[in-house]
Chain A
Amino acid sequence: MIQAKDLKKEFSDKVAVDSLSFNIETGKVTGFLGPNGAGKSTTMRLMLGLDNGGGTTTYDDKPLHNYGRPSQVVGILLEAKAFHPTRTARRHLSILATAGNVPKGRVDEVLDIVGLKDVANSKPGKFSLGMSQRLGIAAAILGEPKYLILDEPANGLDPEGIVWLRNFLRDYATRDRGVFISSHLLSEMNQLADNVVVIGRGKLIADDSIDKIISGAGSAVFVRVSNLAALQKVLDKAKFSYKPSGKGLLVESAKSDEIGKLAHAAKLTVLELAPQTASLEEAFLELTEGAEEFAASAPEAKNAK
């Protein structure tokens, strides 16, 4: 397990990471979410000892520098274009393999895994963002580390690449390894992550399973009955809040079985009863409301000018 405890980082003009603590479990993919400028990348660098700040991060109860070969404990992808543009992809990985005491044969293996075998001897300066990401992922998994820390690895990947990344990371995590991944693609995170750590302005907002975070964002039930006015009376009596939605009502913070039972007790014929679950995007927006560092003005405001 990776345990990040009380991580802190201050720049001259602001607090980037503020007493942040969370765990990354093995066997799971942990997503890392936050608005732009929330401190996600800084947190990852703090966890790796690349930035100097407060707090500690342990990997299976030991700090990273206590391991002889750190690159075999944690593989990183912090920036897609972190390579010399004229050094071939194979040589780039070969250098990392030498530095990390990884057998040479592993270089071709990872190039094959990420689908860059055909361009292994090409200079990566001309790689697309997606190809660069693949090279970065190859570098991360080179030492077959127990943990992966990946900052926005899906950026620039084509749909096939995204599906490949999702399957690969899920498979990686199932082999008693841990994956910590930040992404802005919330729908993707919804399909990939088991747990999510959400931060805003450097502070922890949520650290839970995706299911709990989504359900915590508020669930609603859509209900359509034969007599809408009668249902409104029943809901008022039961102190549910609701609003009209199409030909029915949207009952907030309710479960479908509760509403079904109420309608049945009032002898109302239920024509439609559907739970409305919030998406991760809605949950994320609700959680991070007011924690955005760089919020755009609303389109209406622009038009008004």
Chain B
Amino acid sequence: MLSSIKAEFKKLFTIRSTYLFVLLALIIVGIFGFYGEGFKDSASLVQTLHQKHGGPFIGFAGSSFVAGTIEQMGHFIALFGGIIALLLITHEYRYNTITYTLTASNSRTKSLVAKLSAGFGFVTIYSILLTFYGLGMIFLGLHFSHNVLPHQHISYLTYAGKILYHSEGYALAALLFGTLIRNQVGAFAALLIIPSAVEGLLSLILRHDSVYLPFTALAQVIQVGSRTPPTVNEAPTGYLSPAKGALTFLIYIVIGWIVAWYLFLRRDATKLD
């Protein structure tokens, strides 16, 4: 089992796409953190706070600026982590290496668990590193902008945990799409379209109940952050606490994986059926 997990990690680190998507994540999170938030948006915030309160800043106004930024970065981090995880499984079908993977182990379940473990482990390390890298870039942007923000309330562990949950959720969903669809283009399309376009369209019908859609629920884990629950008018897609959002998504992902596991055991290894 351990050897299968090691092999899966090797698969991740011996192809270009892993490095390419990590690099893209670093660039986007870096630009977003350093320039978009740390350098530019902090200036707008300082200006707004000066107009509203004059200086020095009082109370909690603007104190969640960095925390909110981390939460927004969570979407980029999760997306690229999900793509890397998805490729871990779809490459096997695209290049037919699944035949080697399945015959190296005496159980298909072990092969699947090894793949999930590697995807999960990689996304854990990747997400934590990217989160702290993003934070560093925000502070670097603030440093160069010379903007002085109000005292920031940052619970590092809480935000790292939320981003980690969000990223792992996304990665598990990506692996699920890969396992179910077994086609790289199809799984890619599902990962990119379902969370945004499909759930977006469904939210027009479901309105406030759309928070119970899987990816909308998952987004609640990082979107609400330190905000107080909004009123119905403020939140057109409804509101779930981070814990409830996490639980809602968990139910979907567990059911999805039970189905995927069953199909992984029952289906032919290659897509000839």
Contact = CB atoms under 8 A, between A and B. Distances in A.
A82 B95 contact: yes
Interface string A93-111: 0111011110000000000
Interface stretch (A83-91, A193-201, A224-232): A83-91
Interface residues of A, number: 37
A117 interface: no
A98 B10 CA distance: 9
A85 B10 CA distance: 15
Interface in B240-273: 266-270, 272-273
B269 A45 contact: yes
Contacts of B270: 45, 50-51
B104 interface: yes
B268 A45 contact: yes
B99 A87 contact: no
A7 interface: no
A49 B14 CA distance: 28
A70 B111 CA distance: 13
B91 interface: yes
A131 interface: no
B44 interface: no
Contact of A50 (B102, B106, B107): B102
Contact of B95 (A45, A70, A76, A83): A83
Contact of A98 (B3, B96, B99, B272): B3
B16 interface: yes
Given A45-B269, A91-B10, A64 B104 contact: no
Given A82-B99, A101-B3, A70 B268 contact: no
B56 to A, nearest CB: 56
B235 to A, nearest CB: 45
Contacts, number: 94
Dominant secondary structure at the A interface: loop
Interface in A39-73: 42, 45, 48-52, 64-71
A50 B99 contact: yes
A86 B16 contact: yes
Nearest to A71: B104
B97 to A, nearest CB: 6
A170 to B, nearest CB: 24
Contacts of B107: 65
A184 interface: no
A78 B269 CA distance: 12
10 contacts: A11-B273, A45-B99, A50-B102, A70-B105, A71-B104, A81-B95, A82-B96, A83-B97, A95-B10, A99-B104
In the A-B complex, the 5 residue pairs with the closest CB atoms: A99-B7, A50-B269, A99-B104, A82-B96, A98-B7
Interface of B: 3-4, 6-7, 10-11, 14-16, 91, 95-97, 99-107, 266-270, 272-273
